[in-house]
Structure 1
Amino acid sequence: MRVCLQRPTILFYTFIDKKIHLGQGKGGCSVRRPFVHASPLSRGMADVAVVADKMNVRDALNSALDEELTRDPLVYVMGEEVGQYQGAYKITKGLLEKYGIERVRDTPITEMGFTGIGVGSAFYGLKPVVEFMSINFAMQAIDHVINSAAKMLYMSGGKISVPIVFRGPNGAAAGVGAQHSQCFAAWYGSCPGLKVLMPYDAEEARGLLKAAIRDPDPCIFLENELLYGVEYPMSAASKDKDFTLPIGQAKIMREGKDVTIVTFSRQVEIALKAADILAKDGISAEIINLRSIRPLDRPCINNSVRKTSRLVTLEEGWPQHGVGCEIIATICDESFFYLDAPPERICGADVPMPYAVNLEALAVPTMDDIIRIVKRCCHRGRAAA
């Protein structure tokens, strides 16, 4: 149960010398947890984290927010507990102390309300980063996300852009139940006007979030809660304050010649481990990390499938109308005659996520599922030949 005892934060905008300033209205309150005292904050995580050879995803996201807040005074962060509590997952740690309540704004527990404020401020040129404690809660604000943010550029004849980022944890976590575990990649990926990003490792989280904040269009940034604390190597280039990754460009994580596995987010890690096992059985799997669900890097997928002649898609979302469906449709349209076997889909069970841990494990793809389906795809094609 979520309870809020505070009055809503009130935003107003003043226009001075053609610049937009964000202020706090009279009587506004940015405190969300009156009975919880946050520990003293240090300086922004980015001041320390970006000099490391390794970084976890949490610190990568924090450093990206920190640097973009410094770079552009029009950027601000808002959401439940992003300020004094430093974020439900500590993604905004240190930012309130560094930038103040005008740019790191705690909100009441009303997703429809603060999302509407964020979209409205983006209409006027600000660049909000709206955090949802869970992307599942964004359903409360779906009208603002789709009907206002995603459609405005088209409805205004290209005159009004909406530079806003909606971010938060998405998909299965660990025993948090059906209302906190849904994957929304396919939902948002089907909507014109949105860009939908799903990073895997720390470098992608950092580079894609910075790119999303700088992008003139609304971006849905779907993170995975189970990856926040995982450390990954960081390249020298990724430590630069202007480092970004191109939106709409997939990454080949592992080259192969027998089968193409297309996946994204946490499933990349499982696919890579499965590929190691498959290699021992003589199957060379090429792993594509989409990174961007919309726009989709169709040329990368087509080129890979034309090389391997087999396709397996992997996602944790529901099977009907999933991301894998769109990828397979693309290949059937554009690379059908290169296929040696029918494409295969691996996805979550067609049920709401169970709460019981033993049932939850059965509702998401496993490494055994990947190995079994890939072998079936490869052996079926070889037998037919």
Structure 2
Amino acid sequence: MEEEKTIVKIANILRGLGRNVGVDETIDAISALKLVKDRDFETVKAVLRATMIKDFAVNEDKQERRQEIENKYSVLGRVTDRPYLANELYIYSPAESKIKTTIFQIENRDMIIWSEIAKRLKEITLNYEGHRFKVKESGELDMKMTIKDEIKYSLESPYLVKHRRKINKSYIILLCDISASMKDYIKEILLLSFFIRRVTNKSEIFYFSTDVKRVTNFFQVGSINEIDMKKLVSMVPYGSGTRIGEALYTLRKNHGELLFRKCSVVIFSDGWDLGELDLLERELRNVKHRCKSIIWINPLMDKPSYTPDTRSIKIALKYADLLTSPNVLLKNKIEGKRKVISLSY
């Protein structure tokens, strides 16, 4: 009797969401469950899916109510009630969750913050000597500038001008974690991807969770409003689990030509890895050997209560040249290729 009441409640919820679930579907579900002996969660879910929703059409009269419920229980994105820039982006969850996410707004402040973070990452990853020179005390003697100064000071200049080649190129591979644990940072991921592509065209962008997808072409646009969100989400497994080691292995296997000595790998992830940790360590070691540097940005480090206790983060500490958070990148100037651990305690 109790299970019949539960089935009726589920049917009422589905009707409230606009699904065409009638008396026949409810009776079929009750009858099917009586035939099932091993009632584990997955079996019950499969029975309900097969019997209760036979017509996938949605009642248009209840569309507005359904939208409110979906927004309330969304799986990705978040809403802000502060003044915002008129950029509304829609994110859809994967087919497994069957829930459309809420709309989130990108504020002008967000654009400024992530533009600065992208510029800071470019500064950190500069590595290629160009044709231009800049004055430097530890550089080579610049005879041309020294003679010019001699003429300026009537051949009595006490200075010898030295110079070094400007380092003016940055090669970046951006790996963004879009698993369920990162659902509150989807807006930040989009902004970081957009501005990394803006500040340097020598960049490639990949999104990963249980799989890894190259999404660089989606961010080759002049405005964030021009990003084709529906197409982007259709090919990327938003909201799944996280397998960072497998993602790095797939990247090396399918796009190994992108990993070279002048390239820096930037990982934007909270480090909650559900995959094999031995594989993660092996792949980070390979990336470290092949590339200039590894920069790991963990948004959770901006929280005062955060501690690096997960095993994946401890592995990252061995190989990352820089483990930091968005706020630290924004506020502090970080120079040199050295390991800097910045935790927000």
TM-score (norm 2): 0.35
Q: Which has the larger radius of gyration?
A: 2
When the two structures are superposed, what TM-score results if normalisation uses the length of structure 1?
0.32
